[in-house]
Amino acid sequence: MHTKEKLISDIVQIIGTSLNMPLPEGPITDATLLGAGGMELDSIKVIELVVRLEANYGISVPDEELKQIYDYTIGQLTDLIGDREGAQ
């Protein structure tokens, strides 16, 4: 099981490096939105992020949940990863 801080760091690294997205200025916290007003990921980038997280953490996210994840904060995404890791 990974710490919340490690998961946030990993998510930010994937967004900045693997997805080649500019990171917002200022602190990125568990309250930072993934979509508009936060990390500014569009729906395709959210899918790419989830695919990478599934591969990195050995979790599975059903397709019907992807639309909801667009509206998540980074903290909600780390909770989802933690829940799915614990269920494996």
Is the model's pTM score more than 0.75?
A: yes
The residue-averaged pLDDT of 21-50 equals 94
Residue 29 belongs to what domain range? Answer: 4-87
CATH of the domain at 32: 1.10.1200.10
| Cα–Cα distance for residue pair 45/17, rounded to 1 Å | 12
Task: Supply the pLDDT for residue 85.
Answer: 82
pLDDT of residue 1 exceeding 80:
no
Phi, psi of 42 (to 5 degrees): -85, 180
Number of structural domains in the chain: 1
Q: Report pLDDT digits (tens) over 11-31.
A: 999 999 999 999 988 899 999
